[in-house]
Structure 1
Amino acid sequence: MGRTLYQLDGCPYCEKVADRLDELGVDYDSIWVEPLHSERDEVKRVSGQRAVPVLVDEDRGVTMAESDRILEFAERSYA
């Protein structure tokens, strides 16, 4: 499995993405990030920015942010 979802506890955009991935039966690892943007170094390292959610799909060579884009990708790739 080469999928990781970076998310923040209580983030409605993150929850929307995680819920849809779960509905589609997608296996992924969750990495819970810090509430302060300035402490999200790992997210910045993998995606170039500090906002979440971020999905990394190593199998498809994709790293993307923004919940709507991730949901569109999930529908095309996993549904």
Structure 2
Amino acid sequence: MIELYRLRGCPYCRTVEQKLDELELEYKSHNVSLFRFRRSAVKAVSGQSGVPVLVDPEHDVSGMVESEDIVAYLEQTYG
């Protein structure tokens, strides 16, 4: 299952969520802390603390960052 690490109120995260919803993809959402130093789970999967971060084990994606890249990936893979 696709996983999305997100921060509430983040417009970049919302863009990715809208694409996931548009493509009718099931995904698990992980809300992360507002404080970057408390984002150890995000850092573990992506090597950095920014969000959004997408994990798609079915296609060996283990920590994609940057909302534009994520949206392009989703469109190309599932669109």
TM tier, smaller: over 0.9
Query: 1:13-32: CA deviations, max 9, x gaps?
Result: 00010011101011100000
Shift of 1:39: 0.4
Query: 1:46-67: CA deviations, max 9, x gaps?
Result: 1100000000001101120000
2:77 aligned with 1:77 = yes
Q: CA RMSD in A?
A: 0.6
Q: How many residues align?
A: 78
2:58 aligned with 1:59 = yes
Counterpart CA distance in 1 for 2:74 and 2:42 is: 20
Structure 1: 4+ residue segments shifted above 6 A: none
Shift of 1:37: 0.5
What TM-score, normalized to structure 2? Answer: 0.96
User: Percent identity over the alignment?
Assistant: 46
Residue 6 of structure 1 is matched in structure 2 by 5
Helix, strand or coil at the partner of 1:76: helix
Counterpart CA distance in 2 for 1:50 and 1:77 is: 25
What TM-score, normalized to structure 1? Answer: 0.96
